[in-house]
Structures are given as structure tokens and as C-alpha cells.
Structure 1
């Protein structure tokens, strides 16, 4: 069977798994809301999705520094590479954590229904002021109930085969500064060895996720947010370069940069 055929078959299976997880999430969200535990909806669904992907697609997640996730509340930020980031969330999500997502996803069949029912914070990418207001409105709940919110400060998937990150948007840092919440950076090793649509890559393997120590924001001034966000990005990008690429089983093809690296390590 050709490698491209395997790629498309695995993409189809992954989409089926995501749909099953979303349907499960709708049911769980309704039940959790009825018993007053809506804040657990995304956590339970994320763990279910992780389990399906682990045994259905052969993709596991290894977490380094998991102890840094224990002390709520905080703002969790991560690099954003591909659709596999959802799998990372499934393993690192603490109970009571919610995600932010672009507003367009709210209208997506099944997935959008689940996200709406489970308390996702939807952001309008075309209106920065509105997005900041939405984040600020979620701040009270995060602090009062010791929750967490997961934000991808790059704002979009990079799909990069290189060990770098896109420039950070400031929303997560404004939220943390206003609430004096620590930032918990999460760095995922480059996943293009596992999934790259450009190179028709969809392999099994292991996502390497490193949770860095919380970075306090108490005393941070609004005018210092830009410099602070650039500092955090620099720290995360340095960790990304050290982590490198996720180990993969070569079921399909590999991006040239990963192939070259494998040859050097032989």
C-alpha cells in the first residue's frame, strides 16, 4: 500500500476518532451541567480523546515536569503546531481547565456543539478589543474557583518543520497580568515527524511535552507586557530547540528535515 494512501487512511481514522470524542463530549457536558459539574466536561472529554488516539492511532504523550500543573489557578500557554495539539491537551489538562478557540469553531457541527456546551472561551480574531473583553470576563471564574485556561499565544497553527515559534499575541499575558495569575508554559517537541500535511506524514509515535515552572506575574506592569511576552517566548523556543522532534514510527513519509536528522543519527 502506498505511503500516500496510508496517510489519507490515517487522516480519516483520526477524523472519526475526533467525531466520536466530540459526541461523547456533548453527552458528558449535558450530564455534568445537570449535576453542577460543567467545569469537568472538557477534562473528561480530553482524557477520553487521548485514550482513543493512543490505542486507535498509536500516538502516546510523554510529559516532563507534570508537577508544575498542580497549583491552580494559572494561565497555561503552549506552542501551536498542528491538530495533534488537541492530543497534548488531552494528557496535560487539569480538572477545571478550559480552552480558548476561534469563534468560527462555535458553528462547526458536533465539535462546535461540544465546545459550546463545555464552556469553551470563544475569541473573535477580527476584533482584538472584543477578545480581550471576553478573556477578562472569564477571569473572575478562574480566580474564584481556582481554575485554569489554556491559550495558544501564537494564535494559529504553525505547521512548521523547523524548531521555532510564531510571534506571540498578548491576550494570555494581559489576562495573567490583570489577574496576577502565573503563566505556566508548555512546550511540545516539533510534531512534524508525526503529522505534516505538506509531506503527507501521519505516523505513530510519542509526543514529548515539557511543562515549565510557573512564571509569576504579580507586580507586572501593563507597559511591560510586550517585553515579558517576548521573554517567555524566548524561554519556550529555547526549550523547543532542546526537545527537538517527536520520536516517530515511520508508517508514512517524513519531512526532509526530519529524514536528514535521522541520517545524521545513524
Structure 2
């Protein structure tokens, strides 16, 4: 993985990487930046997760369960990266392009002094033909945890909150192995924990929130989606790389499609991410 750029936002550091097949990013506490140890094995997981109607589904025995890393994503290539700043905020725009000429802009916005980053993705139809989206994630965070070449068993836990009508929320924390988020011996079969809700009640069944805690390093990543309708969150693992993604409910989960005319664009809902040295409660605050 070749490092493209590094940005410091308060006590958080973002590093962008390019692999032979994808563009990825990591989010770590500034105090632990020098301890980043990425997997040595060549892997694949793009920071933009999208699917166009007609493109092949992903491999990994996961058709019907997830659309991550499908044919659309496999065709994405880095075009450029721009930084826009003003008195109050800084924005990083990472632009990818597919073989049809479509552009995909990964936005990261940090307001001065904030303890979170805002992220979303914009799809620009430059193909000259109507394009239909089947999935467009607001965020996709890979390389969890970026402090281990191999994830130690019993180290990473995932937290989410159950809910129902007029209910405050019940915390549920499980080790990733309890959710079958561990690689197979080959590895070839995807481990997936997908949750969300369909309809106009954004907190029905689950809160649109997730956190992953590295117990050995005492580091927690958390994400929340600003979506007042159907949404989904996916915890995904094929090899040593645990990935989190979330946004609009896709076609499989929420029967969602979006037709984008030539020259038009569509942006995903915003998501808010943070990382902190501490437990899940401190990260959620």
C-alpha cells in the first residue's frame, strides 16, 4: 500500500493509500500515528462503495447479502485529490473515475475544532447515458484495526444500540468472532453483519450508529449516519481487514434505486466519524 497523503484534524489523522487495485484510507488518533501496522497481504477494499445496475455482484459467496466490492467498485481508478479550505473548515475531495467516465467524489469535511469528521460521496454521471444506482455508501472505513498485521482473536468488539418505539436504546457489544466476522482458512467466504431499518423511522430496530473497539490499543472508531429514512450499516470481513460501511439502504436491503440522468449528480446522506483513545462510551460522546 503506497501512501498518497496525510491530514491532521485536531487529534485525528487521516492517511490515504493506493494499492494496485483500490484507494483506501485509515483514521487513527494522532498520538498513535507512528504505530500504524497495515496488513502485508495484498487485499482490496475501496473507500468508495457503489453499485451500478447491470454490473456483476461481488464474489465471496455473498450475493443477496452485500454489494460491497462489486464490478463497479473494481473498475474505479484514482483521478485526483483536492483540498479546499476557508476560515472555518477544511475539505478533502478524492475523485475516482470508472471505465464509463463517471466520477465519484469522496468528501471529508472537518470544521475547525470539531471532534468528528463529516463524510459523504457524490456520483456524477459523465457517461452520456442514464445510470441507475443500486447502492451508494456514505462512508466505508477499512483497515480495522490498523495496529496489527493480523487481528488478534478476542481483541476487536462491535457495539450497536437496539431500539423500538419510545425506547431509549439497549447497548449490544459483541466480539467480532461472535458475529462470525473472522476469515476462513482460504480465505474466500465473506463474513458479514448487516443491520439497519426500512421506512420513515430512522431509529426502529437499531440506531444508525456503530463502533469498533481495539482492546489492546484502547482505541475506538465510531460512525453515525444522518439519514431520516431507510439506512444500513455493514461490518464486513474477508481477510485480516475488518471494514465498516453505511448509508442508504441498498437495492437488496431497502429496494432502493436512483436513476441519474446524463450530466446530473447525486450525493449520499452525510455520515459522522471519529476515533479516540478510549472506550466506546467516550467515542460516542
TM class by shorter-chain length? 0.3 to 0.5
TM-score, L = length of structure 2: 0.31
Higher relative contact order (CA 8 A, sep 6+): 1
The structure where helix makes up a greater share of residues is 1
The structure where strand makes up a greater share of residues is 2
TM-score, L = length of structure 1: 0.32
